[in-house]
Structure 1
Amino acid sequence: MISIIICSADAEELKQVSKNIDQTIGVPFEIIGIDNSEGKRGICAVYNEGKRKAKFDILCFMHEDIEIKTENWGNILLNIFSENKEIGVVGVAGGGYKALAPSGWYCVEYNSPDRSFQNVVQGFKLKNKEEIHAYHNPYLQKLSEVVCVDGMWFCARKNVLKDKPFDEELLRGFHGYDVDFCLSIFGKHKIVVTYDILMKHSSEGNFDREWFETILKLHRKWNAHLPLTTTKIVDEKVIYLTEKRAIKNVVEQMLEWGYSFGEIQKMLLSGAKSKRMPLRLFFKGYIHLVEQHFGFGE
């Protein structure tokens, strides 16, 4: 009843997660583990192949460095989809605000409970840190509606992907696929986070310049529609101040990574396509770029 699609880089990790799924899912399932250990294909291409092979109506896309802690989680998932036909995607971590400023599935600068919703045990491979239980359910809900989910684990109805497959032409690597897919269906299907399925994710992700290059591509595609939020009553001043802080931080990060003045200017001009944000936001960003690049005001 659930087709689980995994882009596999490590045969031993695939073996371990397959055993974990078998012991915890509690419903009929299939695992479509696609070997990509040499990294020759992007994750979007692999996931589209998995979608074509899947025989069940609910598709689960997940990383292989995951251990699901919840027993009979398959029944929980199927009940979520069966009880609300408007739901198209279910994840365990997601953000209720997708910034116009280049970013992932949540915006650090958004000072609101809607910034993130999650129930995940987060491990660390790149940093010497103890694992943490990241639980944020500010409204004490069973399900929280979000704009985007984290790609570590999310499930979707197969018919949702029929018209909106993963964009393997634009995204040829291993980043941005989760945000891009969610933005492609946002407003057409509900995207939610459940707190009833707990799992451990062993890696925290590497948000480096390679990741950011993908995010820039993704934003050039979607900037006209951003920012987006699930907040019912939106304070436009809060949104503007959030974006101003976020864009200034992006400018500083791009300078730190060695982007040229022209490349950062291109990022700002791309953001000016937004139908929601006033042009003064980009003048603020440009002034900040000039000040930071030439050292004015120091």
Structure 2
Amino acid sequence: MSLRNLRESSDEYELILLDNTGGRFRSAAEALNHGAVMASGDVFIFTHQDVEVSPEELLQMESYSESNEDLGVAGAAGVSAPFRVFSNMKHGDPPVNVGRRINGPVKVQTVDECLFMVPADVFRRYRFDEETCTGWHLYAVDYCLTVLAKGYDVCAIPVSAYHGSPGYSISEDYYSTMELIIRKHRTPIICTSLGFYTPYLPMAIQRGFREFLIRR
């Protein structure tokens, strides 16, 4: 995000920056829960530090919350089924499309963590699960599955933005967190922007399949 452009915007907003260089937070879920407690707006937008998005696009994101009373989560990139990623974002260097372009909200199972929003009233009922998401991955995936089970909608929305990282490099805790999410939700297939997972196969096999696809 361009902080200078955001600060020059005449629109009302709160900017809450979280610095974990000193290791204050043990997980992304803990850090973002801490930031959200300090927020007072009607919509909470969470984003990675290497995402570039204009203030106008952020306002557009907010408008989708106002037009859908059942919205639980909306993200700039979402997945409805294995390998069905919907997004108007670009990522990497050189920039490439993240997924299938959309003109309006599309219902999905999960959204990517790079840029997403949660209505404040929903977040005050359900926070990020610090017991399940003990590392730095998949906190939005787990959150989406939680609010879906509560009857809310999860949507990918058309947001023009750029994510510097292509997202292929992940740490060991990605897979250990996914195992915890699988046990928690018992969903037949969990779709993410980095592939899909199931409780019916050992994680070692699923991990090997994902890494094979990346090497191709």
The TM tier, using the shorter chain, reads 0.7 to 0.9
Cα distance in 1 for partners of 2:29, 2:203 equals 29
Residues 181 and 251 of structure 1: is their aligned pair in 2 closer, same or farther, counting only changes over 3 Å?
A: same
Cα distance in 2 for partners of 1:26, 1:184 equals 35
Correspondent of 1:117 among 62, 86, 103: 86
Cα distance in 1 for partners of 2:99, 2:3 equals 25
**So what's the TM-score if we normalise by structure 2?**
0.81
Q: Does 1:57 align with 2:32?
A: no
* Cα shift readout 1:50-104 (whole Å, capped 9, x = no counterpart): 1111011100011011111x4522331232122221122211101013xxxxxxx
Residues 36 and 79 of structure 1: is their aligned pair in 2 closer, same or farther, counting only changes over 3 Å?
A: same
Larger relative contact order, structure 1 or 2 (CA cutoff 8 Å, min sep 6):
2
**Superposed counterparts of 1:98-113, under 5 Å:** 107-108=82-83
Correspondent of 1:222 among 157, 181, 185: 185
Cα distance in 2 for partners of 1:121, 1:154 equals 15
Q: Read off the aligned partner of 1:123 and give its amino acid letter.
A: G
Q: Does 1:44 align with 2:29?
A: yes
Q: Is the 8 A contact 1:17 1:65 kept in 2?
A: no
Q: Does 1:86 align with 2:70?
A: yes
Which one has a bigger Cα radius of gyration? 1
**Superposed counterparts of 1:118-133, under 5 Å:** 118-124=87-93, 130-133=94-97
Residue aligned with 2:124, SS: helix
Q: Read off the aligned partner of 1:89 and give its amino acid letter.
A: V
Q: Does 1:148 align with 2:107?
A: no
**Superposed counterparts of 1:13-28, under 5 Å:** 17-23=2-8, 27-28=11-12
Q: Is the 8 A contact 2:91 2:98 kept in 1?
A: yes
Cα distance in 1 for partners of 2:146, 2:209 equals 30
Residue aligned with 2:15, SS: strand
**So what's the TM-score if we normalise by structure 1?**
0.60
Residue aligned with 1:88, SS: strand
What's the CA shift for 1:248? 8.3
Q: Is the 8 A contact 1:66 1:200 kept in 2?
A: yes
Correspondent of 2:205 among 244, 247, 251: 251
Cα distance in 2 for partners of 1:253, 1:243 equals 9
What's the CA shift for 1:27? 2.5
Correspondent of 2:174 among 190, 211, 219: 211
Residue aligned with 2:74, SS: strand
Q: Which runs of 5+ in 1 are unaligned?
A: 1-15, 98-106, 109-114, 125-129, 230-241, 258-298
Show the counterpart of 2:161.
Answer: 199
Cα distance in 1 for partners of 2:59, 2:35 equals 22
Cα distance in 2 for partners of 1:151, 1:50 equals 15
**Root-mean-square deviation over aligned CA pairs:** 2.9
Q: Read off the aligned partner of 1:81 and give its amino acid letter.
A: S
Q: Does 1:134 align with 2:98?
A: yes
Cα distance in 1 for partners of 2:210, 2:58 equals 44
Q: Read off the aligned partner of 1:45 and give its amino acid letter.
A: E
Q: Is the 8 A contact 2:138 2:177 kept in 1?
A: yes
Residues 132 and 228 of structure 1: is their aligned pair in 2 closer, same or farther, counting only changes over 3 Å?
A: closer
Q: Read off the aligned partner of 1:177 and give its amino acid letter.
A: Y
Q: Read off the aligned partner of 1:180 and give its amino acid letter.
A: D
Q: Read off the aligned partner of 1:90 and give its amino acid letter.
A: A
The size of the alignment, in residue pairs, is: 203
Percent identity among equivalent residues?
A: 23
Q: Is the 8 A contact 2:135 2:173 kept in 1?
A: no
Residue aligned with 1:28, SS: coil
Cα distance in 2 for partners of 1:49, 1:255 equals 36
Q: Is the 8 A contact 2:111 2:156 kept in 1?
A: yes
What's the CA shift for 1:217? 1.7
Cα distance in 2 for partners of 1:248, 1:44 equals 26
Per residue, is there more helix in 1 or in 2? 1
* Cα shift readout 1:23-45 (whole Å, capped 9, x = no counterpart): 5x662101111221134421101
Q: Does 1:185 align with 2:147?
A: yes
